[in-house]
Amino acid sequence: MRIRSRIENALLDLLAAGGVVCIGLVIAAFAFDISLILFKTGSMSPTIPQGSMSVVQRIPADEIEVGDVVTVDREAGELPVTHRVIEVHPQRAGEALIEMQGDANPTPDPGPYRVTEVRKVLWSMAGAASVIVWFSDPWVLGGLTLAAAALVLWAFWPREAQYDGEPACADDEAGGRP
């Protein structure tokens, strides 16, 4: 029983540490304006292949440099575009016109984008988009929620005291109560 108890405690400690890491990542995401972007197309291949996930940080137009891979929002109803910056034309304070081109595209995007801020790609992971999409399925989220609730219930469920042959205190040995 002692080995089982140690394994259970180690598992709970590992899960608690994972929870603390997740909370820290959420706080960092809000503090540093970081988010995730999933890639549906291969226009940035081979640098960022189709099905990748990227971590992006919002930066002002004044910080954009040629060679950065950035995401810009387009007109309402259109998906944002993530391409490499090939030219930056500073405008009035806090604004820039940027020209972009996908690494896999033979020509630059049709026109410049007028921006006050963009989301700069910090790093990406190939193939991670499908995993994130799978975890965001309501059935998967529901199952994970039920599993977490069952784990918490199990962790705090009262257990029977186990007698190992040794008295708990001196009063138990004498058979009296304080």
Q: Which DSSP string corresponds to 96-155?
A: EEEEEE-TT-SS--SS-EEESEEEEEEEEETTHHHHHHHHTSHHHHHHHHHHHHHHHHHH
**Quick one: CA torsion of 133, 129, 27, 154, rounded to 10 degrees?**
50
User: Could you tell me the pTM of the whole model?
Assistant: 0.70
Domain segments of the chain: what residues?
A: 1-31, 35-126, 127-159
Distances (CA, A) of 143 to 17, 18, 133, 140: 21, 18, 15, 5
Superfamily of domain 35-126: Umud Fragment, subunit A (2.10.109.10)
pLDDT by position in tens, the chain (length 178): 688 888 888 888 898 898 899 999 999 999 999 999 999 889 999 999 999 999 999 999 999 999 999 999 887 778 899 999 999 999 988 899 999 999 999 999 998 999 999 999 999 999 988 888 888 899 999 999 999 898 888 878 887 765 555 655 555 555 555 5
